[in-house]
Structure 1
Amino acid sequence: MDFREHTDRVLSVAESGSAAARSRLAASWRRSLVRHGIDPATGRAPQRLTQRELRPLLEANESFIRSAESRIDNLFDLVGQSGCAVLLTDAQGIVLQHRCGDGDADTFQNWGLWAGNNWSEEAEGTNGIGTCLAERRRVTIHRDDHFIARNIGLSCMDAPIFGPQGQLLGALDVSSARSDQTEGFNQLIAAMVEQTARQIEADCFRATFPKARIVMAGEGDTRANSLLAVDQDDLVIGATRQARLTLDLPSEGILRPLPAVDVLGRDDDSQKGFEGAERAAVMRALSRADGNVTQAAKALGIGRATMYRRMKRLGISEKSH
């Protein structure tokens, strides 16, 4: 599809309110045209911040970047050989970090897939990063799904990253400019992007609550992403985005400390509910400490006397482990 044909198609769909009601892609195209006033035929270069403008954003997102760097590197190790770039953005769509092969650097820099570039929907219309952030969901924008005609050579797979207080931190993106990039291959990459984004969330969460006990609260596929931070008084002081959705907690903001038993509930089955999770944590600690209660208490971040009280309440004797 050439630029003129793409532009005509985008304008036809974007100007149709009924199309926007039926399709998420059409709704994004309509936002790009009506709300953001973007011309799909624009020839202007992507917006890019100067180093002076970018520096304070990097400083403000330092802990986020630090938590994400190793995960980004791992993801790039998986997709970089296929000519893909990996990008991390802030919540406004500004690229904070990028990874690409040396041989592909000029290509991605020319596309604007580089630290400092603005890929918000307001700036670039429908695109992987901007639409992911606007809709707060995983998206794949493949070639002529893009709003601006000059971007139709790109395939972009994105997932949002939410912070320890449920807030939107940014987006994780894998982009390719290969003409032979297939939608099937995009689906495989999109799954890796989603998994890595959730890993970054978990890393950020654990770094925010280093002294808390981290408890998995969900079930099934969401369990690994449904994390609670529980303090020494058995109060829930933090919850990931998925845990908030699962447990009907406020979607965003600092949580008012809540008794863990109120959040998770008790269950007569000792393998379920908070008591089951707590018992399992205590049993694991005792096992790893080879039965040494003092060492197990230290590993759990509690005192020896508190450990004995919990063991008594949970029906764990020193010999039962």
Structure 2
Amino acid sequence: MARSTPRPAARHAARVEATLASNAPARSALAASWRRSSEHHKLDPAADAAPHRLGEAELRDHRDAMGPLLHAARPSLDRLYQAVGGSGCCVLLADSNGVPVDRRGASVDDPVFRGWGLWTGAVWDESSVGTNGIGTCLIEHRPLTIHRDQHFLAKNASLSCSAAPIWDHDAKLAGVLDVSSCRADLADGFVDLIRLALADAARRIEAEVFRLAFPDARIVLAENGGLLAVDRDDLIVGASRAARQELGLTAERLGTPLPARDLLETGRACESLDHAERAVLTRALARAGGNVSAAAAALGISRATLHRKLKRDPSVRPSRAN
């Protein structure tokens, strides 16, 4: 009697089990996720259950909890879909529970993606469906791609999912941006392009969320792309996750007054009162186009007082006599 060929699900399950029986999880982030799926979440790689889907009322609660982030993300979702949608991909924005709350996709592909659970209201946390783009990104706090048979469940082995975390203005994980495809001919080179577009969209969303959180502050770009919110007294009132990592800012340090110049201009000597006054006068004159009368009015002092200050400090000069 001829030996029967194992079904794809059985072959995938055997591969997962063989990997877990080896010491691979100690060396591989993917294998470690498979082990979490098997041992911690008690999932079966051959299981054929579809992702759990929330009802409309529950989904509405998840959307409401996203707050301003959901609104801030929409232009970036549109732009990202324009970049990848023509290749049969859909774009998902999931919350910190692994539930997509917004998506972009071609209407012709909607029945396919809905069948896979790549839809708003589906639950893609790792404890429910094992290793996957959204759920594993939430666990590992890093951009990643789970490509085809890297998924824990055999039923998801036709999917390619790239995901990036979204951090809010307090450096808390607020959600995940995901691009998913079920096309068998998705080239590896295009997957790399998806990752680049995804990273750019995630940065744009985080920047917009940060600006909305500090509407009255000046937003300063740190050297490696982090954002600082600075108030009118030059004190830092907020820092993005990237800025906190770059500048070594902890929540405790941000809880005390911290001048932006002291943080950004390393090696600068401590400023004096005379230096601070000189800076104020220089800015006032610049804003007034060098007009002493207008600068004095803006500073709330008389023209004669401003002239005395300018005479005392020759380094500050109006651009024209008046």
| Counterpart Cα distance in 2 of 1:155 and 1:188 | 13
In the TM superposition, what is the alpha-carbon distance from 1:262 to its structure 2 partner?
Answer: 3.3
Question: Equivalent residue for 2:47?
Answer: 42
In the TM superposition, what is the alpha-carbon distance from 1:258 to its structure 2 partner?
Answer: 1.7
In the TM superposition, what is the alpha-carbon distance from 1:317 to its structure 2 partner?
Answer: 5.3
Question: Equivalent residue for 1:9?
Answer: 15
Map 1:148-227 → 2, pairs under 5 A: 148-218=153-223, 222-223=224-225, 226-227=226-227
Give unmatched runs, 5+ long, in structure 1: 270-274, 298-302
| Counterpart Cα distance in 2 of 1:214 and 1:119 | 34
Give the alignment's Cα RMSD to 1 decimal. 3.0
The 3 A distance-change label for structure 1 pair 38 and 304 is farther
Letter in 1 for 2:205: I
Does residue 122 (structure 1) correspond to residue 127 (structure 2)? The answer is: yes
- Matching residue within 7, 17, 25 for 2:30: 25
| Counterpart Cα distance in 2 of 1:253 and 1:168 | 20
Larger radius of gyration: 2
The 3 A distance-change label for structure 1 pair 177 and 251 is farther
Question: Equivalent residue for 2:111?
Answer: 106
Question: Equivalent residue for 2:232?
Answer: 232
Identify which range, 252-261 or 241-250, moves more after superposition: 252-261
In the TM superposition, what is the alpha-carbon distance from 1:186 to its structure 2 partner?
Answer: 0.5
| Counterpart Cα distance in 2 of 1:119 and 1:158 | 12
Give unmatched runs, 5+ long, in structure 2: 1-6, 270-274, 301-305
Query: Is contact 1:129-1:158 (8 Å) kept?
Result: yes
Query: Is contact 1:293-1:304 (8 Å) kept?
Result: no
Secondary structure, aligned partner of 2:186:
coil
| Counterpart Cα distance in 1 of 2:32 and 2:85 | 32
The 3 A distance-change label for structure 1 pair 113 and 101 is same
Instruction: Name the count of aligned residue pairs.
Output: 288
Identify which range, 168-177 or 250-259, moves more after superposition: 250-259
In the TM superposition, what is the alpha-carbon distance from 1:304 to its structure 2 partner?
Answer: 4.0
Q: Percent identity?
A: 44
In the TM superposition, what is the alpha-carbon distance from 1:182 to its structure 2 partner?
Answer: 1.9
Question: Equivalent residue for 2:4?
Answer: none
In the TM superposition, what is the alpha-carbon distance from 1:60 to its structure 2 partner?
Answer: 1.4
In the TM superposition, what is the alpha-carbon distance from 1:293 to its structure 2 partner?
Answer: 8.7
| Counterpart Cα distance in 1 of 2:161 and 2:252 | 27
| Counterpart Cα distance in 2 of 1:193 and 1:253 | 32
Deviation string 1:107-140 (CA, Å, 9 cap, x unpaired) is: 1000001111111111111101111111000001
In the TM superposition, what is the alpha-carbon distance from 1:292 to its structure 2 partner?
Answer: 8.1
Query: Is contact 1:76-1:86 (8 Å) kept?
Result: yes
In the TM superposition, what is the alpha-carbon distance from 1:261 to its structure 2 partner?
Answer: 2.9
| Counterpart Cα distance in 2 of 1:80 and 1:318 | 56
Question: Equivalent residue for 1:134?
Answer: 139
Does residue 305 (structure 1) correspond to residue 305 (structure 2)? The answer is: no
In the TM superposition, what is the alpha-carbon distance from 1:57 to its structure 2 partner?
Answer: 1.2
| Counterpart Cα distance in 1 of 2:97 and 2:316 | 50
Question: Equivalent residue for 2:243?
Answer: 243
TM-score (normalised: structure 1): 0.82
Secondary structure, aligned partner of 2:92:
strand
Letter in 2 for 1:131: T
| Counterpart Cα distance in 2 of 1:268 and 1:253 | 20
| Counterpart Cα distance in 1 of 2:253 and 2:119 | 31
| Counterpart Cα distance in 2 of 1:293 and 1:200 | 42
Identify which range, 250-259 or 125-134, moves more after superposition: 250-259
Secondary structure, aligned partner of 2:17:
helix
| Counterpart Cα distance in 1 of 2:319 and 2:258 | 33
| Counterpart Cα distance in 2 of 1:95 and 1:33 | 24
The 3 A distance-change label for structure 1 pair 115 and 318 is farther
Identify which range, 179-188 or 203-212, moves more after superposition: 179-188
Secondary structure, aligned partner of 2:47:
coil
In the TM superposition, what is the alpha-carbon distance from 1:72 to its structure 2 partner?
Answer: 0.3
| Counterpart Cα distance in 2 of 1:121 and 1:49 | 16
In the TM superposition, what is the alpha-carbon distance from 1:268 to its structure 2 partner?
Answer: 5.2
Secondary structure, aligned partner of 1:258:
coil
Return structure 1 stretches of 4+ with deviation > 3 angstroms. 251-257, 265-269, 289-294, 315-320
| Counterpart Cα distance in 1 of 2:291 and 2:10 | 73
